[in-house]
Amino acid sequence: MSAPDSRFVRACKALPVDRTPVWFMRQAGRYMPEYRAVRKRHSLIEICKNPQLAAEVTITAAEYLKVDAAIIFADLLLPFEVMGLPFHFSAGEGPVIESPVRTADDIRRLRTDSADDLGYVADAVSKVARHFSTTLAVIGFCGAPFTLASYMIEGGGSRHYIKTKNLMYSQPQAWDELLGKLVAVTSAYARAQVEAGADVIQVFDSWVGCLSVEDYRQYVLPRTTELIASFKTSGAPIIYFGTDTSTLLASMKESGADVIGLDWRIPLDEGWSRLGNSGAVQGNLDPVLLFADWKHVKAGARRILDQAGGRPGHVFNLGHGILPETPVENVRALAEYVQEHSAGATSFSRSVREGGI
């Protein structure tokens, strides 16, 4: 860990801070001209596998936006390769898994002994951590078992998750074996990122919101809890993020994560209340709002800060990642707005003013 006392890490632990920390999912991406320039010369996978380039892309985005944390540039699906499941990105289609996982035999063949081959991500983390030292927190990340399994089984993105749910219902043992294997690999992978200097780990369960509460609790929560427990001992706080999760929030909290990510569909205060108003929350501006005039963006940000009410444990973010065509100046202005307009509004700054600290 490189910045354990930063305001971002403190907020993840629901400790008081001087102002609300802010960062953005997909803050290094195609909306940014600097990133597009690198992508002209290198494929996405080339950037991910080159620690120098991955570190540069990470650092450039965080410094340009002046955010409170840098998320390591990588991709959710990188562990597939070391499990023996090649994939590529096809223009306009997104990720394509060449031979999707469909049977118990396919699952049996997946490897769990080569997580070390993802060492290039930890190498990039250590370069970023060295660059920022204690001045900025570094976020490592991995996929959650459900979302990763859905890509493996569907062979790419999906609308209804028919093959995924079908395998889950019809072959529950094979399904659980698959999730167990994903936990083994992602647990080692995330741990290596913490050892390399990541201050916080975000677990992306982007598509878990397609499940009913009952199915989530039966087929997914036990393995997700196991994953989170396995790197809790590293001491790094864990953010657990999904979309369309309003009905799942209370169950997601049982995973043991320190911070729960909220998407934009639920008011931040209502989401927090479904979590028992305990622990920390991250979110939750609609990423599409960034396409609107600045006055609308500002009003949306203001509303979220008001809903958080200066309580310890709010990390400002979008409700999902920045979209490719987003106006870059709105993203930068949003970070600045949150930083300026949350100072003095947190309970920490109030108690400093009142002489309590």
Q: Which is nearer to ligand CP3, 14 or 38 (CB)?
A: 38
Q: Hey, is 318 helix, strand or coil?
A: strand
By CB under 6 A, name the one of 261, 321, 331, 342 that touches ligand CP3.
321
Displacement of CA 236 from its chain's centroid (Å): 14
44 lies in the site for ligand CP3, by CB under 6 A: yes
Smallest gap from Cβ 68 to ligand CP3, in A, equals: 14
76 lies in the site for ligand CP3, by CB under 6 A: yes
By CB under 6 A, name the one of 16, 21, 29, 283 that touches ligand CP3.
29
C-beta of residue 71 within 8 angstroms of C-beta of residue 48? no
Q: Hey, is 241 helix, strand or coil?
A: strand
User: Six-digit token pair at 305?
Assistant: 């800060």
Smallest gap from Cβ 301 to ligand CP3, in A, equals: 19
Task: Single out the residue of 200, 234, 232, 210 nearest to residue 154, CA to CA.
Answer: 210
211: left (phi over 0), alpha (psi -120 to 50) or beta: beta
CA distance 58 to 124: 9
318 lies in the site for ligand CP3, by CB under 6 A: no
By CB under 6 A, name the one of 71, 137, 290, 305 that touches ligand CP3.
71
- 242 - beta bridge partners? 205
30 lies in the site for ligand CP3, by CB under 6 A: yes
By CB under 6 A, name the one of 3, 11, 14, 28 that touches ligand CP3.
28
> Can you say whether the dihedral through the CA atoms of 244, 248, 250, 253 is positive or negative?
negative
Smallest gap from Cβ 49 to ligand CP3, in A, equals: 13
Smallest gap from Cβ 101 to ligand CP3, in A, equals: 16
Q: Which is nearer to ligand CP3, 193 or 349 (CB)?
A: 193
Q: Which is nearer to ligand CP3, 21 or 321 (CB)?
A: 321
Smallest gap from Cβ 94 to ligand CP3, in A, equals: 4
CA distance 99 to 305: 45
Give the x-and-dash track for 214-253 against ligand CP3 (CB under 6 A).
----------------------------------------
- Written as one string, the DSSP assignment of 194-229 is HHTT-SEEEEEETTGGGS-HHHIIIIIHHHHHHHHH
User: Six-digit token pair at 189?
Assistant: 């992978």
- 200 - beta bridge partners? 139
| Contact positions vs ligand CP3 (CB under 6 A) | 25-30, 39, 44, 71, 73, 75-77, 89, 94-95, 141, 157, 204, 206, 321
